[in-house]
């Protein structure tokens, strides 16, 4: 029986975030799962070894790990105590992350050697090159390098040293496409960061005709004066979009007894606002020059905004979905968000929410963005509490959004 299994079993609140890890082709190969425990009575965050043990136990017993990571692997930070007495999780699905502040000594080397011999994959998180590093580099499988903490010459030196070992190099906090290209050229094989959600802006670059068609469609969909008949005609003009709409509304995510067999039927069933949101989502998913990981991130963001929006302002829940959806337009079109929004007939509230995080839509979008980056301390919990949204409920919406994305066909 492990220390984890013997630890106290209170009913703690647990916030969870997952951050994708990509390969060199921008395909998701794993997720880093980040957890934070809070006190249900005070909403204060709790730190410490015991808290980490409880968090992991609750996460892997109260949640279906397959709902969180699918067939991918999970990277999870382990405290020093957990390295000595790991929880009984599936070794094939788990990558143990050793934090950078763990002291390298004989005890650590012995524990990591034992874990490796048992079949665990070992990753060194936020790796810092020091004199004693070689003692664990011989054991580790993956080294994560925080590129924000290194100058370019230092990054070159790290790679030069690390290439002497049989390791996979993972670049952390890759925020721009330029950083991604640099790390890729140096030999990094895995990447973590928000570069996919950022545009590749090239001066003088024009939006391709195919993307202009999508942008025009998005503009028409966002027109607040559009009528049932106009939307029906607009979608029916595009056979591929029509097929995708019907496929989506008949999917598990929108399960029902009767199948919907026409766009008119779908609009009347789901409503004008919902169909308009879904058509916008499907239009973006058709931009095949962008990786599916960007589409997945957009879907989760939009759905979580909508779920919170249903509580904050039920009458305009679809407007919250639109804010999440449109917040990644710069990455899809490789233009600044401001220039793209200028070409769309957006309601002023949406415009201010997207660019300045103003109003209810802006506050919700900002909360969801902070959730994505696991910056839970920067979320305005007082604002959410004012609408009856607790950290537990907020976390539940996040998991619902992930499940919805997994069940929603957009291809």
- Residues with Cβ within 8 Å of 101's Cβ and at least 6 positions away in sequence, in order, are none
DSSP H or E run through 331: helix 329-333
Report residue 266 as tokens: 């779908």
Measured between alpha carbons, how far is 79 from 96 in angstroms, rounded to an integer?
A: 10
User: Looking at residue 251, what DSSP letter applies?
Assistant: S
Cβ atoms of 120 and 91 within 8 Å: the answer is: yes
Q: Which pLDDT belongs to residue 4?
A: 35
CA angle 156–162–168, rounded 5-degree value: 110
Q: Which pLDDT belongs to residue 367?
A: 98
For 3-197, CATH gives: 3.20.20.450
Tell me: the pLDDT tens digits for 249-285? 888 778 776 788 899 999 888 888 889 899 999 999 8
Sign of CA dihedral 219, 373, 65, 22: positive
Q: Which pLDDT belongs to residue 109?
A: 96
**For residue 37, what are the β-bridge partners?**
14, 46
Measured between alpha carbons, how far is 270 from 303 in angstroms, rounded to an integer?
A: 15
Residues of the chain with pLDDT under 70: 1-13, 39-64, 203-205, 257
Q: Which pLDDT belongs to residue 204?
A: 64
Q: Which pLDDT belongs to residue 3?
A: 36
Angle between helices 272-285 and 263-270 (to 10 degrees): 120
**Fold entry, domain 209-407:** Hypothetical protein af1432 (1.10.3210)
Report residue 321 as tokens: 């979905």
Measured between alpha carbons, how far is 184 from 122 in angstroms, rounded to an integer?
A: 22
Measured between alpha carbons, how far is 68 from 17 in angstroms, rounded to an integer?
A: 9
Measured between alpha carbons, how far is 359 from 367 in angstroms, rounded to an integer?
A: 12
- Residues with Cβ within 8 Å of 324's Cβ and at least 6 positions away in sequence, in order, are 298, 301, 302, 303, 304, 305, 306, 365, 368
**For residue 49, what are the β-bridge partners?**
none
Q: Which pLDDT belongs to residue 5?
A: 35
Domain(s) of CATH 1.10.3210.10: residues in the chain: 209-407
Q: How far apart are the first and last CA of the chain?
A: 46
Q: Which pLDDT belongs to residue 114?
A: 95
CA distances from 53 to 35, 38, 80, 101, 328 (A): 11, 13, 11, 18, 36
Q: Which pLDDT belongs to residue 63?
A: 62
Report phi then psi at 76, rounded to 5.
Answer: -135, 130
Report residue 258 as tokens: 């009767």
Domain(s) of CATH 3.20.20.450: residues in the chain: 3-197
Q: Which pLDDT belongs to residue 49?
A: 62
Q: Which pLDDT belongs to residue 227?
A: 87
Measured between alpha carbons, how far is 121 from 141 in angstroms, rounded to an integer?
A: 6
Report residue 138 as tokens: 């011989």
Measured between alpha carbons, how far is 247 from 266 in angstroms, rounded to an integer?
A: 11
Q: Beta strand pairing status for 94-98 and 121-124?
A: parallel
Q: Where are the beta strands (DSSP E) in 164-316?
A: 168-172, 190-191
Tell me: the pLDDT tens digits for 18-58? 999 999 999 999 999 888 877 655 556 665 566 566 666 66
What's CA 122's distance to the chain center, in Å? Answer: 23
Cβ atoms of 36 and 45 within 8 Å: the answer is: yes
**Is 174 exposed, middle or buried (CB count within 10 Å of its CB: 0-12, 13-18, 19+)?**
buried
């Amino acid at each position: 029986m492990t220390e984890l299994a013997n630890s106290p079993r209170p009913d703690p609140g647990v916030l969870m975030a997952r951050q994708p890890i990509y390969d060199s082709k921008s395909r998701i190969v794993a997720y880093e799962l980040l957890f934070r425990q809070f006190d249900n009575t005070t909403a204060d965050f709790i730190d410490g070894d015991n808290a980490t043990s409880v968090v992991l136990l609750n996460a892997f017993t109260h949640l279906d790990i397959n709902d969180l990571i699918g067939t991918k692997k999970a990277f999870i930070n382990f405290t020093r105590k957990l390295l000595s007495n790991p929880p009984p999780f599936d070794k094939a699905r788990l990558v143990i992350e050793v934090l950078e502040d763990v002291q390298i000594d004989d005890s650590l080397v012995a524990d990591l050697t034992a874990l490796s011999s048992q079949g665990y994959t070992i990753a060194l998180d936020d790796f810092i090159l020091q004199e004693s590093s070689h003692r664990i580099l011989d054991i580790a499988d993956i080294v994560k390098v925080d590129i924000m903490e290194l100058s370019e010459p230092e990054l070159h030196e790290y790679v030069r040293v690390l290439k002497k070992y049989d390791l996979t190099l993972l670049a952390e906090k890759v925020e721009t496409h330029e950083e991604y290209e640099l790390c890729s050229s140096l030999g990094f094989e895995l990447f973590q960061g928000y570069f996919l959600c950022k545009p590749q802006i090239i001066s003088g670059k024009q939006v391709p005709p195919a993307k202009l068609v999508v942008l025009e469609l998005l503009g028409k969909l966002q027109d607040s004066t559009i009528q049932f008949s106009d939307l029906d005609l607009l979608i029916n003009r595009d056979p591929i979009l029509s097929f995708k709409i019907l496929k989506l509304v008949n999917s598990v995510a929108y399960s029902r007894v009767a199948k919907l067999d026409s766009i008119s039927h779908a609009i009347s069933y789901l409503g004008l606002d919902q169909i308009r949101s879904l058509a916008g989502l499907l239009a973006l998913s058709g931009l095949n020059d962008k990786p599916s990981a960007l589409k997945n991130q957009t879907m989760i963001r939009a759905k979580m905004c909508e779920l919170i929006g249903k509580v904050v302002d039920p009458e305009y829940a679809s407007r919250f979905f639109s804010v999440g959806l449109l917040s990644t337009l710069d990455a899809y079109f490789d233009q600044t968000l401001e220039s793209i929004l200028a070409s769309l007939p957006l309601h002023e509230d949406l415009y201010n929410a997207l660019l300045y995080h103003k109003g209810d839509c802006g506050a919700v979008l900002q909360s969801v963005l902070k959730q994505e980056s696991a910056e839970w301390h920067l979320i305005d919990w007082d604002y959410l509490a004012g609408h009856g949204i607790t950290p537990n409920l907020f976390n539940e919406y996040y998991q619902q959004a992930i499940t919805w994305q997994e069940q929603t066909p957009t291809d």
